[in-house]
Structure 1
Amino acid sequence: MNEHSVLIVEDNPTLRRLLEYRIGKHYDVRAAEHGEEALEFVETRAPDLIISDIMMPKMDGFALLKALRRNERTATIPFIFLTAKSDEASRAKGLSTGIDDYITKPFDIDYVLARVEQIIQRSQVYQTKLNARIGRDFSDRLMPKTMPREEGYRALFFSQPKEDGGGDLFDWVQLTDGSYLFTIGDIMGKGLQAKFYAFSFLSYIRSTIHAMLGSTVSPATLMRRVNAMLIQDQVLEETFASLLLLRWEPARDRVTYCNAGHCRPILVGLQGAGIIDYSDLILGLDPQTEFTDKAFTIPPGSALLCYTDGLNEQVTKSGQQFGEAGVALSASEALQAPQPIKMLLESMLERSADAHFADDILAFWLQRDAD
């Protein structure tokens, strides 16, 4: 059976059962006897299409349509009038309300089925395009437009959302002492919901950082505050997120970081790549979680790679995930490339079972020049 649902509103029991039977072969169908009952159904679950008579007891079709249009949640539900009112004045009145079709009785059931399919498909295409547009807008807001420029370093970034996108986020800010704070995260979930939470979450992080930078530049201290806010907030309390905060001091070639369950960074050098192995619990689970600062130096000619799980969870031709070791191998091959992130991704796709990445991908590459 089709996953889409249709609500039939018809006071004639024989006709109502006929429509239920024929349309029910293709869609999930519910039926109401009049407009008031239909509104009760819609309140519990909004259908993908409503087919309604006009002349009914308690609440007629026009009153039902008016009530639906007043509610933001139901205003755009596709709507068909199926009625015995066949005069031109009634038809004109019906069509003037912005409904999707006006079908008069007696009707051809095959025509009704064809119109149901066409209208649901059209609505689905429109919703898909709308979701994609919203997803792109959120993606633009979750990613930076520029990257830091410091002598002796290259800071590179790449992001590629999958369809509507998910919860990947990346941000950076320069601190008053000349260092930089980078935020790399992944909100659990897929699609627009995850992207909405990622946008809300990033707003929290930005406000927290700006509020606390006067008193601390410690990634761990910032992480503790973000975790507390995430758990206390009623909108985001059911949100779980991995997050990596990095403070980069280019004058000292030093990175201080705090990792809350995020993909572990990779330090790539001429002798190979190593995993920076410390990580705390993900955000949003426990208000008592302790977060710790760790630090390392970027040697000459080396690069730091930070990324989201779209890379390490990509499936290889052998059917296994790349994992950290697979990402590190491709990162080593990319170290001396003119465009290292491009080389990294191409290297991974050469080993992948698919010609494209299956999930959102995000990569941040910070490379120190050789002496």
Structure 2
Amino acid sequence: MSTRPHVLIVEDNKTLRRLLEYRLGKVYDVAVAENGQRALEAVEVRTPDLIVSDIMMPIMDGFALLAALRSDPATQTVPFIFLTAKSDDLSRQKGLKKGIDDYLTKPFDVDRLISRIGQIVQRSQLYQSKLNAKIGRDFSDRLLPKEMPVEDGYRTVFFSRPKEDGGGDLFDWTRGEDGSYLFTVGDIMGKGLQAKFYAFSFLSYIRSTIHAMLRETVSPARLMQRVNEMLIQDAVLEETFASLLLIRWEPGNNRIVFSNAGHCRPILVTPDGPGLVEHSDLILGLDPYTQYEDRSLDIPPDSALLCYTDGLNEQVARSGAMMGEAGVALAAQSALGAQQPVHALLSWLLQRSQDPQFEDDVLVFWLQRFGAAGIGARAA
């Protein structure tokens, strides 16, 4: 589909309608309608970025069309220009009170009309961009925790940087009655506000599921099974696919138990080198009969577990290839002894990237165990 703004012309005069279609069509994607009723039908097919409409038309006039659009939440903000032979102040004032963006009288200069359309569309797009960014930031605040667990002998670090209005990365944690912690790391397939909305809804499901089931099970695999069933059964989220990593951390036993539904594989970084935590099952939302498994892993002294979303491994290196798991593992190894390990990790990757910034959302969870000598929990 074209990226040019879409303009709908509503005019009952065939000659003028064809003239406007021809002239505006050099700059915009144009659709035409001969009256307000036909215009509403065209809007149902594709919502325009702006409407240019006559006032005096048969069947449905311009004021009736404007009223119908403003009464529908889906179209009430579409910019609207009246183009009419009526030049009296009464019609002009009535149009302005109804919320039109401009009012041009016939005869008119087509070049001026084209210029005015461009100004109004640009203003509308700027407003929408700022609104999307604000909504995206609000969703991000709701998707991400304000603080992290504190346990002797460990450091927990979380970092997130959405790209523009953000996508569907999510992270959450809760503490169980037995002193263990359950971490949720996920990624909704998609970009922008739609993915952010689904991530917010999805995280709500996960939270409610975990809180409801923690009294009967602490198994990440059983929790994953239930989340998968709910995701497939829910009408709102039935077309949503997500990767998810559920980790139960037992600081007293220096152990984690995890279940992975197609998410980026964690990396265990030890003094001897990094290693992938291999196991992964099918992503959520595809098959209601998928069986998920619990796997356990000990965290050795002076080691760290790195969990992340695909903004890291899909970052393009100077060679033109993606960093991949191997690149992220090398970055994690270089960060193990750093005072600010996540900062060191990201800096290592960017220094070797084509782009000086990350091309996608970035989310990192770093769980580090200090050595037996005891360094104490250091600041992130």
**Into which bin does the TM-score normalised by the smaller protein fall?**
over 0.9
> Are the equivalent residues in 2 in contact too, given 1:2–1:26 (CA < 8 A)?
no
Q: 1:302 to 1:228 in 2, by over 3 A?
A: same
Q: One-letter code of the match for 1:167?
A: G
Distance 1:94 1:167 in 2: 41
Distance 2:172 2:19 in 1: 57
1:297 counterpart = 2:294: no
Report the 3-state secondary structure (helix = DSSP H, G, I; strand = E; otherwise coil) of the residue aligned with 1:311: coil
Instruction: Name the counterpart of 1:323.
Output: 324
Instruction: Name the counterpart of 2:82.
Output: 81
Q: One-letter code of the match for 1:14?
A: T
Instruction: Name the counterpart of 2:183.
Output: 182
Instruction: Name the counterpart of 1:362.
Output: 363
Report the 3-state secondary structure (helix = DSSP H, G, I; strand = E; otherwise coil) of the residue aligned with 1:274: strand
Instruction: Name the counterpart of 1:353.
Output: 354
1:164 counterpart = 2:165: yes
Distance 1:164 1:227 in 2: 27
State the Cα distance separating 1:144 from its structure 2 match: 0.5
> Are the equivalent residues in 2 in contact too, given 1:316–1:351 (CA < 8 A)?
yes
| 1:308-347 paired onto structure 2 within 5 Å | 308-347=309-348
State the Cα distance separating 1:195 from its structure 2 match: 0.7
Distance 1:255 1:90 in 2: 72
State the Cα distance separating 1:25 from its structure 2 match: 1.0
Distance 2:356 2:328 in 1: 16
Instruction: Name the counterpart of 1:266.
Output: 267
Moved over 4 A (4+): none
> Are the equivalent residues in 2 in contact too, given 1:2–1:27 (CA < 8 A)?
no
Per-residue CA shift, 1:132-182, capped at 9, x if unaligned?
111111111111000000011000000000011111000000001000000
Distance 1:285 1:40 in 2: 36
Distance 2:186 2:258 in 1: 13
Q: One-letter code of the match for 1:82?
A: L
What runs of 5+ residues in structure 2 fail to find an aligned partner? 373-380
State the Cα distance separating 1:89 from its structure 2 match: 1.8
Per-residue CA shift, 1:22-46, capped at 9, x if unaligned?
0011111111111111111112211
Instruction: Name the counterpart of 2:37.
Output: 36
> Are the equivalent residues in 2 in contact too, given 1:48–1:78 (CA < 8 A)?
yes
Instruction: Name the counterpart of 2:229.
Output: 228
Q: One-letter code of the match for 1:333?
A: S
Report the 3-state secondary structure (helix = DSSP H, G, I; strand = E; otherwise coil) of the residue aligned with 1:189: coil
Question: Sequence identity, in percent?
Answer: 70
Report the 3-state secondary structure (helix = DSSP H, G, I; strand = E; otherwise coil) of the residue aligned with 1:99: coil
Per-residue CA shift, 1:308-338, capped at 9, x if unaligned?
0000111111111111111010101100100
State the Cα distance separating 1:303 from its structure 2 match: 0.5
Distance 2:235 2:80 in 1: 35
Instruction: Name the counterpart of 1:72.
Output: 73
Q: One-letter code of the match for 1:292?
A: E
Q: 1:2 to 1:106 in 2, by over 3 A?
A: farther
Distance 2:293 2:161 in 1: 30
Distance 2:265 2:94 in 1: 63
Distance 2:84 2:3 in 1: 26
Taking only aligned residues, the RMSD between alpha carbons, in angstroms, comes to 0.8
Distance 2:99 2:289 in 1: 55
Normalised TM-score (structure 2): 0.97
Q: How many residues align?
A: 371
State the Cα distance separating 1:92 from its structure 2 match: 1.5
Per-residue CA shift, 1:197-251, capped at 9, x if unaligned?
1111100000000110110000000000001111111111111110000000101
1:12 counterpart = 2:13: yes
Instruction: Name the counterpart of 2:57.
Output: 56
State the Cα distance separating 1:128 from its structure 2 match: 0.7
Report the 3-state secondary structure (helix = DSSP H, G, I; strand = E; otherwise coil) of the residue aligned with 2:283: coil
Q: One-letter code of the match for 1:180?
A: Y
Instruction: Name the counterpart of 2:120.
Output: 119
> Are the equivalent residues in 2 in contact too, given 1:266–1:304 (CA < 8 A)?
yes
Normalised TM-score (structure 1): 0.99
State the Cα distance separating 1:94 from its structure 2 match: 1.4
Instruction: Name the counterpart of 1:195.
Output: 196
State the Cα distance separating 1:2 from its structure 2 match: 5.4
State the Cα distance separating 1:88 from its structure 2 match: 1.5
Q: One-letter code of the match for 1:149?
A: V
1:248 counterpart = 2:249: yes
Report the 3-state secondary structure (helix = DSSP H, G, I; strand = E; otherwise coil) of the residue aligned with 1:324: helix
State the Cα distance separating 1:270 from its structure 2 match: 1.0
Distance 2:199 2:250 in 1: 27
Q: One-letter code of the match for 2:120?
A: I
Q: One-letter code of the match for 1:19?
A: L
Report the 3-state secondary structure (helix = DSSP H, G, I; strand = E; otherwise coil) of the residue aligned with 1:362: strand
Instruction: Name the counterpart of 2:156.
Output: 155
Report the 3-state secondary structure (helix = DSSP H, G, I; strand = E; otherwise coil) of the residue aligned with 2:245: strand
> Are the equivalent residues in 2 in contact too, given 1:219–1:247 (CA < 8 A)?
yes
Q: One-letter code of the match for 1:304?
A: L
Instruction: Name the counterpart of 2:211.
Output: 210
What runs of 5+ residues in structure 1 fail to find an aligned partner? none
